[in-house]
Amino acid sequence: MDRISDSDSEDAGSIPAGATKFYAYVIRSIKFGYVYKGHCQDLVARLKQHNAGMTLSIRKYIPFEVVYVEELESKTDAIRREKYLKARPEGSF
27-50: pLDDT as tens digits: 999 999 999 999 999 999 999 999
By residue count, the chain amounts to 93
The structural domains of the chain, with segments of one domain joined by +, span 22-87
Q: What is the structure's pLDDT at 22?
A: 98
pTM of structure? 0.78
Q: Which of 5, 12, 73 is nearest to 39 (CA)?
A: 73
Ranking 6-10, 66-70, 84-88 by mean pLDDT, the lowest is 6-10
- Judge residue 66's burial from the number of C-beta atoms within 10 Å of its C-beta, 0-12 exposed, 13-18 middle, 19 or more buried: buried
Chain segment 51-72, per-residue pLDDT in tens: 999 999 999 999 999 999 999 9
